Structure 1
Amino acid sequence: MTIACLTFDFDGVAIWMSTFKQVSPTPLSRGEFGAEVGIPRLLEVLERCEVPATFFVPAHTASSYPEQMKRIVAAGHEIGCHGYLHESPVGLPIEEERRLLTQSLEVLEKVTGVRPIGYRSPAWDLSDNTIDLLEEFGLIYDSSLMSNDFNTFYARKNDVLTEERFTHGEQSQVLEFPVAWELDDYPYFQFSPRPLNTGLRLAEDVYKAWSAEFDYAHKVNGVFTLTCHPEIIGRGPRIEMLEKLIKHMQQPGVQFMTMGAAAKHIKSAAL
């Protein structure tokens, strides 16, 4: 069986405040587009196609757009943790990272009524302490690493890197759903002068790339993880392309799951 995980990073305006350091009206309006236009369009597509998805959400976004959050949960989709203000955990002291994770989980649970069981780093990067903290807080999966394409694996902790060699640490209990820039809408579509990303590819070109990636994943009975952002994929021609892709993926032997459901399934199957 092939597992298909559709994931959406609902960043709101947090990414502009934290990652891009742009808080003037025009950059922030991109986040507003994601919340006010992208999210409704995504929910309509997912409802028409009758497939579940996982939304990774910074706590700031949940507080800013509670109605959208409630609509996502009411539609049967999963909410995953995505930082507090879309901050990178890299370089944070462990107590600061623990505090932010605590606050993020508390806010998401307060807004949605459901405590997340999964995490995706806003930076697609982890600190030396992140996996330990995910275990400490009872989170069962992560989706931030790239050391496989269509196979899940258990994230390691306490790797050691020196100029002489790279030594693996011990395996954690956190199941990893690998990500890839090839399966992210940002590099294909996003134009940004700071940092420079030219993007602006045709939706049909991206459909060809993503459908080919899926076809290979299906051939090897893998786990296909797609990462999109409401403010990017939510534009008209792109949302139509996404619906076309979902319909292409709805083949015999393919099961669409939230990441939480997929993590539980994979873990139980290994027992």
Structure 2
Amino acid sequence: MSFTSRGFPLFLTFDFDAETLWTARDKENAGKPIVMSQGRYGWKRGIWRVLELLRRHDLNVTFFVPGLVVEAHPDIMEAILKDGHEIAHHSHTHTWITQLTLEQEREEMEKGIEAIQKVAGYRPRGWRSPAAEFSRHTLGLIEEYGFDYSSNFFDDDEPYLLEINGRQTDIVELPFRWVLDDAPFFHYAVSLPGRTMQAPSALLEAWTLEFDALRAEDRMMLIAMHPQIIGQPSRLWVLERFLEHVAKADNVWIGRCDRMTDDIRAGLKGARP
């Protein structure tokens, strides 16, 4: 593990999308109260279960939050910050980037930064795309708006420094994969044809096996979760059991993305040829 001496890096991250998860997919969902209620579950119930679990395990982690959700739920942002967690950038409206012009993409960046800075008192240091895709402008905008780390790509099992326009930057990429996301296992609605829900045990088995293999290879692991999904009782059971499994292992480092990437960046830069 040339990029850090702090132990095996395990990132627990949460995309707190609330209703924007549904309006971004289809703007007409805003007029469908049952569909929208799935997003409301995230802030009415799910997020509070997640925060309570993190307190019990004495963990500080990162929440990627769209600006609209930051503005709509100042009480939840206060609770996240009070517990020592990081708020990172997840667009403003969660609109899929492939649907945006360059000007609209800039607006998403700027409004999201403004919303987080107002509630947290700092500019967000990390950025995650809504709906897991970039435009041809996105990498340049990540650099232009001064982000220190990105968590978007699916191309590796360890962190690396992003290359933009043929130049290696100091921006740390924290890659993950769909198997490390709760949505493919549980994200369901009648408006999503072909979607099925899997048993919680299937997700627990997948994440446990991934953790054991990646730790044996001395890599890293990043898990992406959604309070409206993982915050349901049977799904939170998965996270609880997974953390119990992790606790049996030695030399595991869990923390906020901003703080962990500061250490990792130094290791990656030191390893440059």
State TM-score, norm by structure 1.
Answer: 0.91
Q: CA deviation at 1:197?
A: 4.4
CA distance in 2, matches of 1:91, 1:29: 25
1:110 alignment partner in structure 2: 118
SS across alignment from 1:196: coil
2:74 alignment partner in structure 1: 66
2:162 to 152, 155, 158: 155
2:199 alignment partner in structure 1: 202
2:250 to 249, 252, 256: 252
Gaps of 5+ in 1: 159-168
SS across alignment from 1:127: coil
Please show how residues 165-176 of structure 1 align to structure 2 within 5 Å: 169-176=166-173
Cα offsets for 1:220-250 (capped at 9, x unmatched): 2222100110011111111122111012112
Q: CA deviation at 1:80?
A: 0.8
1:78 alignment partner in structure 2: 86
The question of 1:216 aligning with 2:213 is answered yes
Question: What RMSD, in angstroms, separates the aligned Cα atoms of the two structures?
Answer: 1.5
Query: Are residues 196 and 172 of structure 1, via their aligned partners in 2, closer, same or farther at CA, if it must alter by over 3 Å?
Result: farther
State TM-score, norm by structure 2.
Answer: 0.91
Q: CA deviation at 1:106?
A: 0.4
Structure 1 stretches of 4+ moved >3 Å: none
Amino acid at match of 1:267: R
Q: Is the 8 A contact 2:35 2:189 kept in 1?
A: no
Amino acid at match of 2:129: S
CA distance in 1, matches of 2:194, 2:111: 32
Query: Are residues 40 and 91 of structure 1, via their aligned partners in 2, closer, same or farther at CA, if it must alter by over 3 Å?
Result: closer
In terms of fraction of residues, the more helix-rich structure is 2
1:263 to 261, 264, 269: 261
CA distance in 2, matches of 1:2, 1:20: 39
Q: Is the 8 A contact 1:7 1:225 kept in 2?
A: yes
Q: CA deviation at 1:154?
A: 2.0
Cα offsets for 1:41-65 (capped at 9, x unmatched): 0001111111221110000111111
Q: Is the 8 A contact 2:70 2:115 kept in 1?
A: yes
Query: Are residues 91 and 171 of structure 1, via their aligned partners in 2, closer, same or farther at CA, if it must alter by over 3 Å?
Result: farther
1:13 alignment partner in structure 2: 19
CA distance in 1, matches of 2:185, 2:104: 34
CA distance in 1, matches of 2:100, 2:238: 39
1:57 alignment partner in structure 2: 65
Q: Is the 8 A contact 1:20 1:194 kept in 2?
A: no
Please show how residues 88-103 of structure 1 align to structure 2 within 5 Å: 88-90=96-98, 92-103=100-111
Please show how residues 32-43 of structure 1 align to structure 2 within 5 Å: 32-43=40-51
CA distance in 1, matches of 2:62, 2:142: 18
Q: Is the 8 A contact 2:89 2:112 kept in 1?
A: yes
The question of 1:232 aligning with 2:229 is answered yes
Amino acid at match of 2:221: F
SS across alignment from 1:192: coil
> Percent same amino acid at aligned positions?
32
Q: Is the 8 A contact 1:128 1:157 kept in 2?
A: no
Cα offsets for 1:183-239 (capped at 9, x unmatched): 111110122333324231111121011100011111122221001100111111111
Number of matched pairs: 260
Query: Are residues 192 and 106 of structure 1, via their aligned partners in 2, closer, same or farther at CA, if it must alter by over 3 Å?
Result: same
Cα offsets for 1:110-164 (capped at 9, x unmatched): 122232100000021111221211111111111111111x211122334xxxxxx
Amino acid at match of 1:154: L
Amino acid at match of 1:79: I
Q: Is the 8 A contact 1:187 1:197 kept in 2?
A: no
2:4 alignment partner in structure 1: none
The question of 1:26 aligning with 2:70 is answered no
CA distance in 1, matches of 2:220, 2:86: 17
Cα offsets for 1:244-270 (capped at 9, x unmatched): 101211221101021111211111223
SS across alignment from 1:3: strand
